[in-house]
A and B are shown apart, each in its own frame.
Chain A
Amino acid sequence: MSDDSSGATAASRAASPSAAHGETLLEIRGLKKYFPLTQGIVFKRTVGHVRAVDGVDLTMRRGETVGLVGESGCGKSTVSKLLVVLERPTDGQILYKGRDVARMSGRALKAYRREVQIIFQDPYASLNPRMTVGDIVSEGWAVHADIAPKKGRLQRTQELLDRVGLNPDYVNRYPHQFSGGQRQRVGIARALALRPEVIVCDEPVSALDVSVQAQVVNLLEDVQDEFGLSYLFIAHDLSVVRHISDRVAVMYLGSIVEEGTDEQVYGSPSHPYTQALLSSVPLHEPHLRGQKDRILLQGDVPSPADPPSGCRFRTRCWKAQDVCAQEAPALVDRGQGHPSACHFAEARTVVPVDVE
């Protein structure tokens, strides 16, 4: 494995996690994905669109972990599918090393798919129950034969299993013989097999028990340093995202409402939705109980098929004014130090800082 690059990455991470990483690897510009809503059985008429992703901008640099948080239905998983070209965008661009992924085909797309891998939430549904874990991990080499010569494949597979903390002798076992945490390790080994540059982690630890969750989070951090990976870490668990991410983007109803370093977003959130979201997370320290601002949101998330005009959040926002219904706020810095998509963005400390 490339020891020199992993050393450099580890050093830069240790020095300052929020400092600029390498060059820009992925750039998402105005990404949109609308799913048609149809009526009728034989003659399907399109009666509307579900705006799952509606104008997302995001940048990822080499060696960086970008966290994407949001509640169910905000479109974060659609972003992950668009990134690994399981879906094609309705509009907007995904630039990987400066090249538009939507225009890639043939050889270029094949190379892109090798370099950008994905780990899914449900480690059972994402592993073929009829294949041994050895076959699952090495399957990618059937397409990308240049990565591992045919002869040493078994040994490479065993090395990978060993690296993710599984017994290498288990290559011939089937997914059902493993626990949830072990299955997720198989998923990680499969993603690593093609020596990717970027791994999209879509809720990788949400289905795991708390004591096992930490093992997998640590493993992800270790292989990131070792292989010089960049992660897009998608999750609804704000604590896990803060732990692993260098930068965090908060999504609401198809678009990003706030973005910044973990310190900026968690320490001084400036979008009302981020503030409400953070204030809802229960704290673990008895002495901090009751010290945080409690912001209880009213009502439910509006339907993405019929989002509110202007600012998406205005229907539940306590700051909403007339301008919010007319004009969608841009994701820019309004003096609070990091971009926030609110006309009245104002930094506010919601989560008490642990003084211990």
Chain B
Amino acid sequence: MTRPDPSTSVLPGTGLGTPVLEVDDLHVEFRTRSGVVSAVNGVSYSLTEGETLAILGESGSGKSVSAQAIMGILDSPPAVISGGGIHFEGRDLLTMSPEEQRKVRGPGISMIFQDALSSLNPVYSVGYQIGEMFRAHRGTSRRDAKKRAIELMDRVRIPGAASRVNDYPHQFSGGMRQRVMIAMAIALDPRVLIADEPTTALDVTVQAQVMDLLEDLQRDTGMGLVLITHDLGVVNEVADNVAVMYAGRIVERGTVDDVFSNPAHPYTDGLMSSVPQVEAKGGRLLPIDGQPPNLAAIPSGCPFHPRCSRRRLGDAAAPGRECATDLPPLRLVAPGREAACHYSEEVLGV
């Protein structure tokens, strides 16, 4: 299997700040009774301070699994990190003992999830759950922890924080619950926040409120944000850089401006033309044929080739670039642009 060269793992576009989080050739497998499912197959990226990196992909692309690997919350078994490294502030998390990992991740990296209701404990008040962060990691007293919880609820703009601190998760609306999650996530001033589909379950007006809040918090704290989503619009509005995932691999990355105005991978291109836009009625949608691949049987060669409109099969003039057998590596295709397609230059129209 060709693995992408780790030397290309530094994201283009930012050039500022030091990387706080580096994921290096990460592999995650699910070893199930019915076979091995390769969910993440060599993903590398790095995140600098204050950067927003969007991981864009459909269900089953491995975007959430790679985030769970970073957080150390994979269900294992069956999930196994079968290769690669995760470096936080220069230290490899995967070589640490579980106790060390907990001490590093706890205050350093936090995560918010799509479904806030099932991520919060229904039998504890939200104030108790937010305050738990301080009690567990800082040894704060209960009374002080509650005070800090109220401050945090104010900070995530929950109206009447002092009177709602003893309320339970079910007493909050979806948007407010997501704010509670965010309050817990930012409690210890993390350097990295991973947001896994934070607004997918929310209505658009609430989505706008939550994204606005995340942007403000990021500006204030300078934390790096990994935004996992399938929503092209959210990526365009919030992120600096984007990595597009397909079948457990990054197939394209670059700045949002570059990738969205001129995609270099046929999959990205296909996604853009299959989504209707609110600013114009547009003509007929151009969908991508077929279904996303089964991760237990990823197609040979380029995993996207069975659905690709630009695939070239049996082209004798292009040795080593046969879509059905040769896996295209993630390579530099234009300044600051990487894509995993043999024919990216054609897609770009260079």
Q: Residues on A close to B: CB < 8 A?
A: 71-72, 179, 181-182, 209-215, 217-218, 221, 236, 238-240, 242-244, 262-263, 266, 276-289, 294, 296-297, 299-300, 351-354
Using CB atoms and an 8 Å cutoff, list the residues of chain B in contact with chain A. Answer: 58-59, 159, 173-176, 203-209, 211-212, 230-234, 236-238, 256-257, 260-261, 270-272, 274-282, 284-289, 291-292
Give min CB distance, B62 to chain A, whole Å.
14
- Chain B nearest CB from A35 CB (Å) reads 19
Distance between Cα atoms of A213 and B335 in the complex (Å):
33
For the complex of A and B, 9 pairs with smallest distance between CB atoms: A282-B233, A214-B287, A243-B276, A214-B274, A71-B203, A280-B208, A214-B285, A211-B288, A215-B287
Q: In the assembly, what is the distance between CA of A131 and CA of B22, in Å?
A: 49
Chain B residues contacting A221 (CB-CB under 8 Å) are 284
Known contacts: A209-B292, A284-B233. The answer to whether A277 contacts B205 by CB under 8 A is yes
Tell me if A240 and B276 are in contact (CB < 8 A): yes
Q: Which residue of B lies closest to A300 (CB)?
A: B173
- Contact yes or no, A283 B203, CB < 8 A: no
Q: Evaluate whether A281 and B261 lie within 8 angstroms (CB atoms) in the complex, with A71-B203, A211-B274, A211-B287 already known.
A: no
Q: How far is the CA of A262 from the CA of B275 in the complex (A)?
A: 17
Contact between B232 and A353 (Cβ–Cβ < 8 Å)?
Answer: no
A294 to B234, CA, bound (A): 14
Q: What would 14 more interface pairs be, CB under 8 Å, given A209-B230, A276-B205, A281-B204?
A: A209-B59, A211-B274, A213-B275, A218-B284, A240-B276, A277-B205, A280-B205, A281-B278, A283-B233, A284-B277, A285-B236, A294-B208, A300-B173, A353-B280
Chain B residue with the shortest CB-CB distance to A240: B276
Contact (Cβ within 8 A) B204 A242:
no
23 A/B residue pairs, CB under 8 Å, sorted by A: A71-B206, A72-B174, A179-B291, A210-B230, A210-B232, A211-B271, A214-B287, A238-B278, A239-B275, A243-B281, A281-B204, A281-B278, A283-B233, A283-B279, A284-B260, A285-B236, A285-B260, A285-B279, A300-B173, A300-B206, A351-B279, A353-B280, A354-B279
Q: How far is the CB of A315 from chain B (nearest CB, A)?
A: 13
Which of B176, B286, B291 has most chain A Cβ within 10 Å?
Answer: B291
C-alpha spacing A244/B285, complex, angstroms: 10
Please give the distance in Å from A67's CB to the nearest CB on chain B.
11
Q: Which residues of A contact B208 (CB under 8 A)?
A: 279-280, 294, 296-297
B233 and chain A: residue at smallest CB distance = A282
User: Do B285 and A242 touch across chains, with their CB atoms under 8 A apart?
Assistant: no
Which residue, of B205, B208, B230, has the highest number of chain A Cβ atoms within 10 A?
B205
A278 to B274, CA, bound (A): 20
Q: Nearest CB to that of B292 among chain A residues?
A: A209
Chain A residue numbers with a CB within 8 Å of B212 are 296
Q: How far is it, in angstroms, between the C-alpha of A39 and the C-alpha of B173 when the chains are bound?
A: 23
| A289 pairs with B237, CB closer than 8 A | yes
Select from chain A the residue with minimum beta-carbon distance to B258.
A286
How far is the CB of A302 from the nearest CB of chain B, in Å? 11
A217 & B276 in contact (Cβ 8 Å cutoff):
yes
Given the interface contacts A351-B278, A353-B280, does A284 sit within 8 Å of B204 by beta carbon?
Answer: no
- Partner of B282 from A71, A211, A215, A243 at Cβ < 8 Å: A243
Is A296 in contact with B276, judged by CB distance below 8 angstroms?
Answer: no
How many whole Å from B143's CB to the nearest CB in chain A? 30
CA distance A181 to B58 in the complex (A): 13
Question: Which chain A residues border B175 with CB–CB below 8 Å?
Answer: 300
- Give the chain A neighbours of B271 by CB distance below 8 A: 210-211
Question: Please, which residue of chain A has its CB at the minimum distance from the CB of B230?
Answer: A210
A71: B residues at CB distance < 8 A: 203-206
A218 to B282, CA, bound (A): 13
Whole-angstrom CA separation of A241 from B233 in the bound complex: 16
Q: Chain B residues with Cβ under 8 A from A212's Cβ?
A: 287, 291-292
Distance, CA A135 to CA B289, complexed state (A): 27
Q: Which residue of B lies closest to A74 (CB)?
A: B203
- Residues of B within 8 Å of A209, CB to CB, are 58-59, 230, 292
Q: Determine the residue in chain A with the shortest Cβ distance to B283.
A: A243
Complex partner residue of B58 from A211, A277, A294, CB under 8 angstroms: A211
Question: In the complex, which residue of chain B has the Cβ closest to the Cβ of A245?
Answer: B281
Inter-subunit contact B236/A289 (CB<8 Å):
yes
Q: By the criterion CB–CB under 8 Å, are B203 and A236 in contact? A: yes
Q: Which residues of B are found within 8 Å of A214, using beta-carbon distances?
A: 274-276, 285-288
Given contacts A209-B59, A211-B270, A213-B274, contact A288 B279 (CB under 8 A): yes
The answer to whether B203 and A284 touch across the interface, beta carbons within 8 angstroms, is no
A residues near B159, Cβ cutoff 8 Å: 299
A179 to B238, CA, bound (A): 31
Residue of B nearest to A221 (CB): B284
Q: Which residues of B contact A278 (CB under 8 A)?
A: 278
Residues of A within 8 A of B176 (CB): 300
Find the B residue at minimum CB distance from A266: B278
Task: Report yes or no: A283 in contact with B205, Cβ–Cβ below 8 A.
Answer: no
Most central of B175, B231, B279, B291 by chain A CB within 10 Å? B279
**CA separation between A267 and B305, bound complex, in Å?**
39
In the bound assembly, the distance between CA atoms of A288 and B232 in angstroms comes to: 14
Q: List the B side residues contacting A266 at CB < 8 Å.
A: 278
Query: Residue of B at shortest CB range from A218?
Result: B285
Across the interface, A286 reaches (CB within 8 A) one of B174, B261, B291, namely: B261
Known contacts A218-B285, A280-B204, A286-B257; is A210 also within 8 Å of B280 by CB?
no
- Closest residue of A by beta carbon distance from B176: A300
Min Cβ gap B83→A in Å is: 27
Which residues on the A side are within 8 Å of B237 (C-beta)?
282-283, 289
Query: CA–CA, A282 to B208, complex, Å?
Result: 8
B197 CB, nearest partner CB in chain A, Å: 13
What chain A residues lie within 8 Å of B278 (beta carbons)? 238-239, 242, 266, 278, 281, 283, 351
CB-CB < 8 A to A299: which residues of B? 159
Once bound together, how far apart are the Cα atoms of A226 and B146, in whole Å? 63
Does the CB pair B277–A283 fall under 8 Å?
yes
- How many angstroms between the C-alpha atoms of A212 and B59 in the bound complex? 11
Q: How far is the CB of B64 from chain A (nearest CB, A)?
A: 14
Q: Quick one: given A209-B230, A211-B292, are A280 and B279 in contact (CB under 8 Å)?
A: no
